[in-house]
Structure 1
């Protein structure tokens, strides 16, 4: 029993999962702020469409950030909270140009690719750890985000 955490999962596997979830938290946090920037600064003939879509996306990311942090806590570890650490750890890059709708959508797609790839890694780790809670969370996120990739890609075509 000493090798199990409070929810009955292997402590070492839970630690590895929490580390990967903290990476995801960093990526989500940078992505969230990028999307907020797109929402605030979008210009041009697609303003109303993209302004609303970016708001939907950042509101969804806000919820996911909280869920990921809470999942790390549930696994018995501490979620990172410093933006300086997020900037260091994230694979999603901070956007600097945020007023061009086409570029913003392309950047959104690149960020989603990074995030979906990481979530698939976490999905593999959670399956190995028999962690159905993390597994279900990642599976739901991937399904939702794959649809977003299709929709944003269709917008560009």
Structure 2
């Protein structure tokens, strides 16, 4: 086993960085979705949702940076083109969504996909003894599970 400069198995960190790039692509799509619904939301819930969507896209923007910096910490290069993001993203793309229920459902569906990816990374980072990535995924998962619960409550649906 060859260790990198932060003491982790180089082969395992390469795999993790690749998975983090996949997460990065999906987070960028999620971020753009949030910007779009923030700009386009209409209706009686406008004031509350406009503010909430801004809160969520600001948080997503911070997470995008954290993911990219983690990839760099692992010794790899983060994806940074829309072409690369589009090729890897599994998060649904929201286009011209202005209705409140559709916007909130897009968030739930996006977070559900992100949580799947993050749980896979969490498992691999545990196996690689990569506490930095593991901690990041654990924090993301905890926050996003709460957001899903809140959005589902707003939709009047069970989690």
Instruction: Indicate the TM-score class for this superposition, using the shorter chain for normalisation.
Output: over 0.9
User: Partner residue of 1:43?
Assistant: 42
| 1:82, distance to aligned residue in structure 2 (A) | 0.7
Cα deviations across residues 103-133 of structure 1 (Å, max 9, x unaligned)? 0100110000000010000000100000000
RMSD, aligned α-carbons: 0.8
**Aligned mates of 2:15, 2:96 — CA distance in 1:** 35
Q: Give the TM-score taking structure 1 as reference length.
A: 0.98
Q: Give the TM-score taking structure 2 as reference length.
A: 0.96
Give unmatched runs, 5+ long, in structure 1: none
Superposed, which structure 2 residues align to 1:85-124 within 5 Å? 85-124=84-123
1:62 pairs with 2:76? no
Give unmatched runs, 5+ long, in structure 2: none
User: Partner residue of 2:142?
Assistant: 143
Instruction: Kindly report structure 1 stretches of 4+ aligned residues shifted beyond 2 Å.
Output: none
Figure out how many residues of one structure are paired with residues of the other and give that number: 156
Superposed, which structure 2 residues align to 1:15-26 within 5 Å? 15-26=14-25
